[in-house]
Amino acid sequence: MIRKPATLFSASVALLTFQCLSVLCVAQDFDFFYFVQQWPGAYCDSRQRCCYPKTGKPTADFGIHGLWPNYKNGAYPSNCDRDSVFHESQIEDVLPQLQKFWPTLACPSGDGVKFWTHEWEKHGTCSESEMDQHDYFVAALKLKDKANLLQILKSAGIRPDDGLYELDSIVEAIKERTGFTPGIECNVDSSRNSQLYQVFMCVDTSGSDFIECPILPKGRCASSIQFPKF
């Protein structure tokens, strides 16, 4: 039997300890959340394919993309606890709401579990100092209820009718109703139209209240963007 040299063994233990401590530190250290909602019409009306979930075509509404811990410098932690795996049993009581408000559009068609697993393991595990798995998904659902983006935009005369709208008008409509400036992300359809894709709102570390964004994502939007039908 070959024995590992003591110095090498000690170094391995030290490295493992450092890695574990790093994960714990990252999981407890973030400055705010991005709460991200995406417009399904823009997701599907682009170069990437989309597939409706097994439950059928989602409602024509902004769907939750995720609740992402972030740092004020624009960086973000990810995959903070590889031992904290997603368990569908943890969210059984809110499963109907998740299917409605956090639907998957990825191909092949799925039931949402793969999408939610990815969001929890990449982003949710980095918020475990504030909430467990169940609370994480419930927090996102409550934020969705607080920021009804489609109703806000419709009230401002901005509708998903394939029309072009001023980016500033979209930002102002959301800011007026929520009290906070959103970040807008656009993508491009096959005709090279810049279109409304995702809306970022910033949330405090408790996952409860919207705040002014310490930093806004770069949205790559034109000054006038399309709000595609779905």
Angle at CA of residue 74, ends 143 and 198, nearest 5° = 45
Q: Residue 34: beta bridge partners? A: 68, 202
- 65 annotated active-site: yes
Q: Find the catalytic residue in 65, 128, 130, 185.
A: 65
Residue 90 exposed, middle or buried by CB count within 10 Å (0-12, 13-18, 19+): middle
Task: Give the closest residue to 63 by CA, choosing from 49, 54, 72, 53.
Answer: 53
One of 119, 121, 128, 185 is an active-site residue; which one?
A: 119
Q: How many helices (H) and strands (E) does the chain have?
A: 7, 7
State yes or no: is 87 an active-site residue: no
How many other CB atoms are there within 10 angstroms of residue 200's CB atom?
21
Determine which one of 121, 123, 128, 130 is catalytic: 123
| Paired tokens of 190 | 């096959």
Q: Catalytic: 123? A: yes
Catalytic positions: 65, 119, 123
